């Protein structure tokens, strides 16, 4: 998504559906969690207290800082079976 306002970015990502996504920013990466239309950015913040932060995507400074260069978003997993195995701590058969 190239240079869109945070509100538009959040709406577009929410449109992808509930799930966990990786977001690539100008100089940073993080996770986006979509749950029931709520869109949150989870990342190791490089501003403020510099700790792992869970914040609304629309108000995240990292999103604002990356707007000129755009954002790359992809789902973490495309296969619900893999997510289920991982959450249960079960080895993935090859």
Give pLDDT tens digits along the chain (94 positions). Answer: 888 999 999 999 999 999 899 999 988 899 999 999 999 999 997 767 788 999 999 999 999 999 988 889 988 777 778 778 877 899 877 7
For residues 13 and 73, the answer to whether their CB atoms sit within 8 Å is yes
Has residue 39 been placed in a domain? yes
| 3-class SS letters over 26-60 | CCCEEEEEEECCEEEEEEECCCCCCCEEEEEHHHC
Tokens of 21: 């996504």
* pTM of model > 0.85: no
Has residue 52 been placed in a domain? yes
Has residue 27 been placed in a domain? yes
Find where tokens 């249960």 sit: 88
Has residue 45 been placed in a domain? yes
Distance of CA 6 to the CA centre of its chain: 13
CA dist., res. 85 & res. 52, Å (int): 26
Has residue 79 been placed in a domain? yes
Number of structural domains, the chain?
A: 1
For residues 32 and 39, the answer to whether their CB atoms sit within 8 Å is yes
Has residue 41 been placed in a domain? yes
Has residue 1 been placed in a domain? no
């Amino acid at each position: 998504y190239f240079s869109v306002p945070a509100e538009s970015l959040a709406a577009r990502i929410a449109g992808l559906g509930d799930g966990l996504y990786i977001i690539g920013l100008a100089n940073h990466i993080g996770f986006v969690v979509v749950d029931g239309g709520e869109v949150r950015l989870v990342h190791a913040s490089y501003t403020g207290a510099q700790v792992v932060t869970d914040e609304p995507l629309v108000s995240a400074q990292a999103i604002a800082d990356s707007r000129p260069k755009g954002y790359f978003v992809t789902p973490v997993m495309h296969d619900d079976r893999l997510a289920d195995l991982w959450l249960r701590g079960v080895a993935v058969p090859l």
